[in-house]
């Protein structure tokens, strides 16, 4: 269904392109700046330190290239592959203890850091302990700290970790996380060492890792340059890299068409501008694991709402209203407008493409005005109407999603008012980080992860991260049941049983949604056709590229 829509849109876009001015761009065959890969990035890193970087933030892009982790995802499948560890621990190869608590990693010999020092188990322990000890609130240290009980250096080339509880997702959501990157102990010690709670300014602006790329320079607001690490333990990268920072999406589009850039990050909505340009290939496939969602707050402090809001604090406690919102949202408008047709709708709350996603589970994927009206009437808010504010970061997909919500509801019933507060990133983060949250609704996307448990814990579990903040407990028809299901699935080691449980949860949550999921954004990547070996892995941080694989 969506694909058909998508084609319509595509043709429309092509007509539009034809009507628009023809651009005099040299789409010549010869390769521009050979030996160098120019990537036009969306946003600038705020730090290059694995211990400080925030998941989904620009710095992860660079960290992925310059640092290595013990394990990694291959470019073609979500299967784990060895990296600094020579094999993926498993019960069979003795990497995982019988009780599932102790993981032992055999490390790679003869690896050296970019500063020339040799890599050993000490560095691994140092890197992880560093993150945990610094415990920077903006960073992701929690991912390690929450699960790891202790870690030890068995010998120079063996490193082992003991967990608090058995975890089905330790390897593919913790070991592979950017915060688990291995940094050069000597480099850190030579530049300020570890200080709890205080960012290391050297590490924030420099990188000393073992990865295929060495960090060269970072011209703020302009570009960030990497060079090939010639004595990389694996296959050497072929191209040096320059990451062009900032600029509007369409600057990147033009740059790509002009051949200045080899790969670009851009909203799907700009694909129409690249479609059909010679020398440009568009990579479509798969979906990002970061559903775009709008939160509904069931835990609003007394009288904390913005003055223009007329709703009561317990507005969203009523499941009918939450359902009504889910029915009212104009999914097609969002998919075909801002997302330009690139995306899918996923059930609450398991992204498509992840273990446990049930293709047959019911999904909110179509505006159903009648149903929405019925539910609003039942809930008794149809006649007098209401006004509610939704807060979000300005100038991105989230803001557009809010606008779609606004239009959807206000067209459904003029008595409904949605005030879109599109604020500065910092202001949003500030509001978003406060607990209890002082807004009734907010829009953002989920953080990516490789395991369904992460999502359900964070976005559905009554005692989970958001369950607690949003007070899901006040709203679920049967909170205990949902909690029970999620918990049991988390420790279930038999995949089949686990999948079944998740399927049930997805049905439960359809009846009792805690989010409005605008869509699961599709992956679209445009690059020059002269680029060889292009590959994407959604489990890698945005833009999910490893430059070392490319050549031209």
Partner 1 sequence: MQLRDYILRRLLVLPILIIGVSIVVFTLTRVGGSPIGIYLSHEMTPSEVAEIQARFGLDQPVWVQYLQWAKGILQGDFGYSGVAAAPVSDIFPLKLAATMELAVAAGCVALFLGITLGTFAGARRNKLPDHITRIVAVSGASLPQFWFGILLLIVFWAQLGIAPIGRSDATIFASIAHPTGLYTIDAILAGSLTAFWDAVWHLILPALTLGYGATAIIARMMRSALVEELQQDYVDAARAKGLAEKIVLKRHARRNALVPTVTVIGLTFGFLLQGTITIEIIYRWPGLGRWMADSVLRGDQGTLMTYVLFTSVLFLLVNLIVDVVYANLDRRVTLGK
Partner 2 sequence: MSEITDSNFDKTAVRDTAFRVRMRRFFGVLQRLTSNPTTVVGLVLIALMLAMAIFAPWITEANTPDAYQMPRDWGAVRKPPGTPGHWLGTTNEGGDVFYGVIWGSRTSLQLSLYVVGSTMVIGTIIGSVAGLVGGWVDEVLMRIVDVFLSIPELIFALAIAAVLGPSFTNIIIALAMVIWVKYARIMRAQVIQIKQNDYVDAARVIGDSKLNIYLKDILPNAVTPVTVQATLDMGNVVLIGATLSFIGLSEAGIAEWGVLVSEGQAGIASGRWWASTFPGLMIFLWALAFNLVGDGLRDALDPRIEGR
Using CB under 8 A, list all residues that contact partner 2: 13, 16-17, 19-23, 248-251, 253-254, 269-270, 272-273, 330, 333-334, 336-338, 394-395, 399-400, 402-404, 406-407, 410, 414, 417, 420-424, 427
Under rule CB under 8 A, residue 407 binds partner 1: no
Q: Cβ(486)–Cβ(441) under 8 Å?
A: no
Considering the complex, state which of residue 232 and residue 345 has its C-beta at the smaller distance from partner 2. 345
User: What residue 273 binds from partner 1, partner 2, none (CB within 5 to 8 A, per partner kind)?
Assistant: partner 2
**E strands along 8-157, which residues?**
36-40, 71-73, 80-82, 102-106, 148-155
Q: Does 138 bind partner 1 (CB under 8 A)?
A: yes
295: which strand partners?
442, 515
Closest CB to partner 1 among residues 101, 251: 251
Site membership for partner 1, residue 191 (CB under 8 A): no
Regarding 28 and contact with partner 1 (CB under 8 A), the answer is no
- Closest residue by Cα to residue 457 from 426, 490, 432, 425: 490
- In whole angstroms, what is the distance from residue 105 CA to residue 203 CA? 26
According to the binding rule CB under 8 A, does residue 414 interact with partner 1? no
DSSP 130-169: HHHHH--TTS-HHHHHHHEEEEEEEETTEEEEEESS--TT
461 counts as binding partner 1 under rule CB under 8 A = no
Among 10, 27, 153, 251, binds partner 1 (CB under 8 A): 251
Q: Find the part of the chain contacting partner 1 (CB under 8 A) among 45-53, 66-74, 364-372, 506-514.
A: 45-53
Residues 453, 79: Cα–Cα separation, whole Å: 17
CB of residue 18 vs partner 2: minimum separation in angstroms?
10
Nearer to partner 2, 273 or 451 (CB): 273
Q: By CB under 8 A, which span of 215-223, 297-305, 338-346, 397-405 interacts with partner 1? A: 215-223
- In the chain, % helix, strand, coil (3-state, to 5) comes to 35, 20, 45
Tokens of 35: 């030996």
- Residue 336 binding result from partner 2, partner 1, none, given CB thresholds of 5 to 8 Å by partner type: partner 2
Q: Which is nearer to partner 1, 135 or 371 (CB)?
A: 135
Strand partners, 326: none
For residue 164, the number of C-alpha atoms closer than 13 Å in the C-beta half-sphere is: 6
- Binder of partner 1 out of 429, 487, 492, 504 (CB under 8 A): 429
Q: Which does 204 bind (CB under 5 to 8 A by kind): partner 2, partner 1, none?
A: partner 1
Quick check: 431 and 442 in contact, CB under 8 A? yes
C-alpha closest to that of 485 among 512, 517, 451, 462: 462
Among 11, 30, 360, 426, binds partner 1 (CB under 8 A): 426
Nearest to 41 by CA among 551, 547, 552: 547
Q: Which residues contact 433 (CB under 8 A, 6 or more apart)?
A: none
Question: Site residues (CB under 8 A) for partner 1?
Answer: 21, 23-25, 33, 36, 44-48, 54, 59, 137-138, 140, 142, 197-198, 201, 204-205, 219-223, 225, 242, 244, 246-247, 251, 254, 258, 394-395, 424-430, 432-435, 465, 469
């Amino acid at each position: 269904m969506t694909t058909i829509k998508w084609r319509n849109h595509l043709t429309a876009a092509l007509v539009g392109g034809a009507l628009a001015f023809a651009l005099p761009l040299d789409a010549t065959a010869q390769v521009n700046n050979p030996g160098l890969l120019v990537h036009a990035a969306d946003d600038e890193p705020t730090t290059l330190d694995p211990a400080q970087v925030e998941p989904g933030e620009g710095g992860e892009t660079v960290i992925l290239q310059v640092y290595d982790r013990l394990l990694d995802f291959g470019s073609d499948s979500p299967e784990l592959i060895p990296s600094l560890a020579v094999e993926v621990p498993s019960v069979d190869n003795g990497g995982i203890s019988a009780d599932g608590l102790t993981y032992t990693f055999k490390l790679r010999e003869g690896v050296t850091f970019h500063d020339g020092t040799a890599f050993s188990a000490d560095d691994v322990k140092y890197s992880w302990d560093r993150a945990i000890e610094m415990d920077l609130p903006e960073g992701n240290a929690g991912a390690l700290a929450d699960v790891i009980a202790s870690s030890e250096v068995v010998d120079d080339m063996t490193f082992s970790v003991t967990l608090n509880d058995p975890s089905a997702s330790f390897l593919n959501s913790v070991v592979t996380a950017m915060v688990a990157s291995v940094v050069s102990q000597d480099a850190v010690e030579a530049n300020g060492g570890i200080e709890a709670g205080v960012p290391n300014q050297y590490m924030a602006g420099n990188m000393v890792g073992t990865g295929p790329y060495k960090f060269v320079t970072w011209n703020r607001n302009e570009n960030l340059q990497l060079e090939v690490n010639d004595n990389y333990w694996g296959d050497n990268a072929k191209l040096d890299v320059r990451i062009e920072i900032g600029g509007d999406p369409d600057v990147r589009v033009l740059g790509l068409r002009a051949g200045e850039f080899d790969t670009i990050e851009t909203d799907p909505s700009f694909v129409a501008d690249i479609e059909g340009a010679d020398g440009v290939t568009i990579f479509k496939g798969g979906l990002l694991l970061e559903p775009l969602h709008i939160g509904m707050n069931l835990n609003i402090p007394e009288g904390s709402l913005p003055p223009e809001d007329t709703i009561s604090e317990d507005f969203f406690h009523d499941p009918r209203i939450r359902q009504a919102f889910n029915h009212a949202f104009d999914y097609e408008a969002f998919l075909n407008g801002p997302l330009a047709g690139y995306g899918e709708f996923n059930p609450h709350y398991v992204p498509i493409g992840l273990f446990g996603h049930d293709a047959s589970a019911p999904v909110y994927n179509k505006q159903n005005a009648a149903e929405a009206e019925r539910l609003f009437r039942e809930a008794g808010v149809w006649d007098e109407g209401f006004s509610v504010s939704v807060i979000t970061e300005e100038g991105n997909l989230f803001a557009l999603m809010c606008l779609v919500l606004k239009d959807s509801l206000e067209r459904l019933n003029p008595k409904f008012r949605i005030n879109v507060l599109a604020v500065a990133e910092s202001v949003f983060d500030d509001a978003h980080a406060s607990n209890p949250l002082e807004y009734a609704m907010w829009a953002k996307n989920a953080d990516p992860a490789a395991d369904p448990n992460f999502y359900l814990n964070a976005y559905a579990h009554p005692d989970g991260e958001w369950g607690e903040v949003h007070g899901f407990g006040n709203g679920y028809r049967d909170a205990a049941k949902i909690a029970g299901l999620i918990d049991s699935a988390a420790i279930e080691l038999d995949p089949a049983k686990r999948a079944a449980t998740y399927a049930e949860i997805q049905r439960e949550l359809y009846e009792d949604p805690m989010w409005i999921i605008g869509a699961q954004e599709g992956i679209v990547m445009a690059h020059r056709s002269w680029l060889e070996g292009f590959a994407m892995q959604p489990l890698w941080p945005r833009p999910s590229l490893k430059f070392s694989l490319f050549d031209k």
